[in-house]
Structure 1
Amino acid sequence: MEPATVAPFGTWKSPISAQSLVERAVGLDDVLTDSSGDYWIESRPEENGRSVLMRRTLNGRTEVVTPEPYHVRSRVYEYGGGAATVADGTVYFTDYRTHQVVRLSEGRQPEPLTPEGPYRYGDLHWDAARRRLLAIREDHTAQGHPTHTLVAIDGHSISPGQVLVSGHDFYQAPRVSPDGRRIAWVSWNHPAMPWDASELWLGEWAPDGSIQQPKRIAGGPAESVQQPLWSPDGSLYFISDRTGWWNIYRWTPESGVTPVTALKAEFGVPTWTLGQSTMGLIDSHTLLATYSIKGYSHLVRIDVDTRELTHIRMPFTWIGRLKVGPTAALMIVAADNDVSQVVRFDWHHDRFQTLRRAWERPVMPDYLSRPQPIEFPTSDGTTAHAFYYPPANPHYRAPEGERPPLVLFVHGGPTTQRFPVYQPAIQFWTSRGFAVADVNYGGSTGYGRAYRQRLTGKWGIVDVDDCVFLTRYLVRQGLADERRLAIRGSSAGGYTTLAALTFRKTFHVGASYYGVSDLASLAQETHKFEAHYLDSLVGPWPAAEAEYQARSPLAHTDQCRTPVIFFQGSDDRVVPPPQSAQMVEGLKAQGVPVSYVTFAGEGHGFVDGATIVRATEAELWFYAKIFGIRLADPLPPIPVANLS
């Protein structure tokens, strides 16, 4: 190998191009188990983000199940989830184009079961006892916010479904007991989010297929519950954070609710999407589950009688969806040195088999930047968490004494988290000589309820403080150049980015991907699921209007002197385009270098491959222009106002 070339950070030539991020790449959205094979849903950037149901057959053949132009995706609560289920080889799915529920049987053409029109469906679940489908239905018939109900779809004729449960603002996870006698579901009401306060309900089936004698068995105003899971013996398992951490509990008619696990760890996840699953039953005595501590996932086998946990060795640092089938489990996983993938876990021999990789390009070990966990002191006397990715390129080294420019990634949500996994989008930066920090600021999930609630009433304060304190910490440690500090984020992370650029003087450039700039507009215009989210993050609207104004970057563009690039989809309903456009005009008027890049047809979260490529290249070009970095490969310039 030739000696490394001495070249400034940021100027290194990289084999990881923006185009390579979407070539032979897919998003892995869900896994499904059935006696007919192993299934998963993958989204394809090269097909304008179309989501496809795939199957690995019993004889080992991989095939596409849903033909073009079907798009297997739900839009319930805007974020969707639970878009498909399989029962004895028959597939049921929601088509994103029409929002209809479609049945697809072996050797037959797809059959719509619900009409086109004002309905959306998600969290599909097969009721084997009554040979029908259960779902969460979102009804947009009336003006204003939609109505949500739990419905049954019999499939004998095209119908919007029979309403089984109504009256609460939101529902998720309808699950029928194996003997067909009972049903469990989760519900919650405004102003709570499901990770703040939700309830687990139980009902009996009446002879006519309706639900009778509903009763709440867990949850309440200070407890979050999720993932009801029936055992063949009639027990019901679920996850609750009643002790401050999402642990597993069991309900029986005789004993009520008793704990199964009692760790300072998170078995649960924030249920932004329907159909989340982090546990399953191998048999009536054994659970297979995943939990996380400080961002790292662990896989365990749990004896529910003795409550003994047996850890299973695995090469992964993160486990997303986990579904247990008749003979094996399916999971979406990733590692700190490998991309996300669908794996089949044979619990008899503790063996993992990869069925599908999210990125078919081989990982190049010499260019690998592995995440380093960091716990750093922050403003309120506590500590916060992040992962640091150093520059990595075998063909280059920086001049003696030089520190790398830093790109700080701020996750959206804000009630989500980042994980220590291989992400091609991060390696794109580190292979060019940038350092990357991925922050789990106060309010992130994965660190217990108290850490989540650090953000209560303090969005735009605690998260911004943690970003600033992390950056200062990295500079003090010699891990970042104090003169070249960038911050970027999407959605809620875009808000934190804009707030940091407006109200602090730490960063030198920023990128907002469909970020919030006007909190008052968000509170008044956003969709039903998040209509009262800001009540807990900022304060009740309109009583706390002054606080909304004080924390909105749009109201204080005169305080921002930092160059910003904005990326916005024209069809975004979560953060509408005027949020970005007005902020851009305000910065232009102040003489701040600003660029506004819009994408027709994109919504909240970019899915088209061409969009992802253009945005990635534009962000790199913009940072290089501001930092004075001469890139190894020229990129097409973008219009920038007020840039001399």
Structure 2
Amino acid sequence: MVTIAPHGSWESPVSAELAAAGDGRPEHLGAVGDEVWWTAPRPAEGGRRALVRRRADGTQESVLPAPWNVRNRVHEYGGTPWAGMSTPDGPVIVFTDFADQRLYAFEPDSASAPRPLTPLGAVGGGLRWCEPQLRPERGEVWCVLEEFTGEGPSEVRRVLAAVPLDGSAAQDRGAVRELTDDSRRFVTALRVSPDGRQAVWISWDHPSMPWDGTELRIAQVGDGALTGARTLLGGPQESVAQAEWLPDGSLLAATDRTGWWNLHRVDTTTGAAVNLCPREEEFAAGLWKPGQRWFAPLPSGLVAAVHGRGDTRLGILDPHTGELADVPGAWTEWAPTLAVHGERVTGVAAGPYTAYEVVELDTRTGRAQVIGAAHEDRVDPAYYPRPHHRTFAGPGGREVHAHVYPPHNPEFAAPDGELPPYVVWVHGGPTGHAPLVLDLSLAYFTSRGIGVVEVNYGGSTGYGREYRNRLREQWGVVDVADCAAAARALAEEGTADPARLAVRGGSAGGWTAAASLTSPLTEGLYACAAVIYPILDLAGWACGETHDFESQYLVSLVGELAEVPERFAERSPVNHAERVRAPFVLLQGLDDVICPPVQCERFLALVEGRGVPHAYLTYEGEGHGFRRADTMVSALHAELSLYAQTFGFDAPGVPPLELKG
């Protein structure tokens, strides 16, 4: 029997605790002999990342107990934190631990504890390591070194480095051998050719971000040193996102020189590039984390490649014919992590009704199967949302891509004539993408009668460089207008209640949510907002209030501060507190160095006393992106309580959020 009740008040088995327990996904896949390893989230264990081992017989174990946390802070978002190799005595693993950022080695089949390979840093953010690659023939691990030279967030240098495996550098920074100089601000993705004679890597400099312009560098490998480095491909207007050597010694790179990240064979002498599979699709995306991998060569010479337009698929490419055969299955999103062992490819994939799971493809048979982190329906799938793609018309008729998640609960329906409230979910980045996958945090709202629309506004990845470039110098305009276009369209067509629209987002999405409360483009549109670890003050963010990786991001998103200070002032929510009319909740991690609490505090001081209902919740031990189960539960409860108070419905079992004006 279906119960009639107002939207928002529907009872649901999708609790905040259940949503928090399922947060996160497997990452950083790797093959160690016949075994597959990855890192996995542990929200109930303080948000640490565990290292999971899947043996050849299919058994699995977490090899490092708490408090080991296999994660690093390179670029603050972290890069690939581990690597391993198989030996007659069992696996040898090197990894970074989040607590001290040191590189460790350990043998899981022995009784010995992990032993440090690198020293503690004494200055600023210290010494950080990522993308380790074991070089047993040299007795070393090669990796990216991020070394702080002062206390400021941008007093830092990055090089490719070689760390002795014997532990001689554990107390001696001088024992670390630098493979490159620090003439480039950022370095990543070191790849040594099959014959060991050449190496390539990707680099770039401020003010570029890696999706704006990067260089593919090549050098000779001699006596362990990289010599004669030169630029092979790329530049300020070309983004090379990944490069890999094929078994025959030829070089492949994902570059967007055609307007789309396509796979090219690159001549290592001239840099001439031939597109192997010309498509208006993406075979890569924004390089947010060092070590992300969208394609991987197989020993046969075939190439496993994540590709698509909006949604992504895993395909097997024949680089000689350009033929691309896709893996069957209901997965609509493949993460940028691939591992190859023999003719098997392992990736991480999800779909509209399944969370991220580890999937293995046998390229000889074409059979794909889940081998780890298998999705479990912890509640009846009947409570999951039923999403669909939409393309809305933005200003000037431009396309705005989105996913619409209508309210859905098999046990409830709204009274006749009642339109549902809708929340616009704004993804982070802003050079990012909202995938069409099952998210229990989203289902937490849709199963209670609240609709959600996720907007891939102009600037998002997945739709080519032209779509991505819409946001150049237009942040706070295009993103705000595109999200508003989706909200208005849903209201005008009778899908959403125009009086009960909200906006929410975290990080760059928090910026768009806050800007939507103060922008003339959205005046009176949103009834409330959930603003999560946001950017609120562009001038402050451009002048040292963030980390080095994004410290000059605003040059492309807004412009040069010295040249257009009025633009920075006009778009920043902190300068327009008087325009805020709608209630809001502000959620902030106190350890966040990317979007620091000082910006929230500055904004709140200007809102105080203006009669706008609001709440500010802070969380000790949380950085940029909440990882702890108790934090995520609190945040979901606060958000639902805000909607209940604003939209006028009861939220059973949810602690009331105290709003002050």
Q: Scaled by the length of structure 1, what TM-score is found? A: 0.96
1:382 matched residue in structure 2? 398
Contact map agreement 1:565 1:595 (CA 8 A) in 2: yes
Structure 1 residues 271 and 348, CA, compared in 2 at 3 Å: closer, same or farther? same
Aligned pairs (5 A) from 1:26-105: 26-88=24-86, 89-105=91-107
SS at match of 2:463: coil
Structure 2: distance between partners of 1:498 and 1:373: 26
Structure 2: distance between partners of 1:206 and 1:123: 21
Shift of residue 555, structure 1, vs aligned partner: 0.4
SS at match of 2:395: coil
For residues 452-499 of structure 1, give each alpha carbon's deviation from its aligned partner in whole angstroms, at most 9, with x where no partner exists.
100000000000000111101111222111010010000110010011
Structure 1: distance between partners of 2:284 and 2:475: 23
1:229 matched residue in structure 2? 244
Contact map agreement 2:14 2:379 (CA 8 A) in 1: no
Report which stretch shifted further, 450-459 or 338-347.
Answer: 338-347
User: How many residues align structurally?
Assistant: 637
Contact map agreement 1:339 1:357 (CA 8 A) in 2: no
Report which stretch shifted further, 163-172 or 185-194.
Answer: 163-172
Shift of residue 361, structure 1, vs aligned partner: 4.3
1:577 matched residue in structure 2? 597
Question: CA RMSD for the aligned pairs?
Answer: 1.5
State the one-letter code of the partner of 1:92. V
Structure 2: distance between partners of 1:479 and 1:527: 41
2:162 matched residue in structure 1? 152
Contact map agreement 1:300 1:311 (CA 8 A) in 2: yes
Structure 2: distance between partners of 1:350 and 1:56: 21
Shift of residue 78, structure 1, vs aligned partner: 0.5
Match of 2:425 among 400, 409, 412: 409
**What is the percentage of aligned positions where both structures have the same residue?**
38
Structure 2 residue 655 is the aligned partner of structure 1 residue 636: yes
1:568 matched residue in structure 2? 588
Structure 2: distance between partners of 1:24 and 1:587: 35
Structure 1: distance between partners of 2:514 and 2:561: 21
Shift of residue 36, structure 1, vs aligned partner: 4.2
Structure 2 residue 588 is the aligned partner of structure 1 residue 588: no
Structure 1: distance between partners of 2:294 and 2:587: 33
State the one-letter code of the partner of 1:584. L
For residues 544-599 of structure 1, give each alpha carbon's deviation from its aligned partner in whole angstroms, at most 9, with x where no partner exists.
21110000011011111111100011111111101112212222221111110111
Shift of residue 400, structure 1, vs aligned partner: 1.6
Aligned pairs (5 A) from 1:239-638: 239-253=254-268, 256-293=272-309, 295-320=310-335, 321-357=337-373, 360-362=376-378, 364-503=380-519, 504-505=522-523, 506-524=525-543, 525-631=545-651, 633-638=652-657
Shift of residue 24, structure 1, vs aligned partner: 6.1
Match of 1:12 among 5, 10, 28: 10
Shift of residue 190, structure 1, vs aligned partner: 0.6
Contact map agreement 2:141 2:164 (CA 8 A) in 1: yes
State the one-letter code of the partner of 1:210. A
Structure 1: distance between partners of 2:451 and 2:350: 21
Contact map agreement 2:22 2:440 (CA 8 A) in 1: no
SS at match of 1:296: coil
Structure 1 residues 24 and 553, CA, compared in 2 at 3 Å: closer, same or farther? closer
Contact map agreement 1:442 1:455 (CA 8 A) in 2: yes
Structure 1 residues 137 and 523, CA, compared in 2 at 3 Å: closer, same or farther? same
Match of 2:191 among 140, 157, 175: 175
Q: Gaps (5+ residues) in structure 1?
A: none
Match of 2:211 among 186, 195, 199: 195
Structure 2: distance between partners of 1:260 and 1:34: 30
Contact map agreement 1:9 1:405 (CA 8 A) in 2: yes
Structure 1 residues 182 and 130, CA, compared in 2 at 3 Å: closer, same or farther? farther
Contact map agreement 2:232 2:268 (CA 8 A) in 1: no
Match of 2:118 among 103, 114, 117: 114
Contact map agreement 1:302 1:308 (CA 8 A) in 2: yes
Contact map agreement 2:350 2:437 (CA 8 A) in 1: yes
State the one-letter code of the partner of 1:392. H
Q: Scaled by the length of structure 2, what TM-score is found? A: 0.94
Report which stretch shifted further, 144-153 or 322-331.
Answer: 322-331
Structure 2: distance between partners of 1:222 and 1:25: 36
For residues 74-124 of structure 1, give each alpha carbon's deviation from its aligned partner in whole angstroms, at most 9, with x where no partner exists.
100101121111111211111110110011123132111001122001122
Structure 1: distance between partners of 2:268 and 2:484: 51
Q: Gaps (5+ residues) in structure 2?
A: none
SS at match of 2:486: helix
State the one-letter code of the partner of 1:576. P
Structure 1: distance between partners of 2:577 and 2:215: 42
Structure 1: distance between partners of 2:257 and 2:24: 37
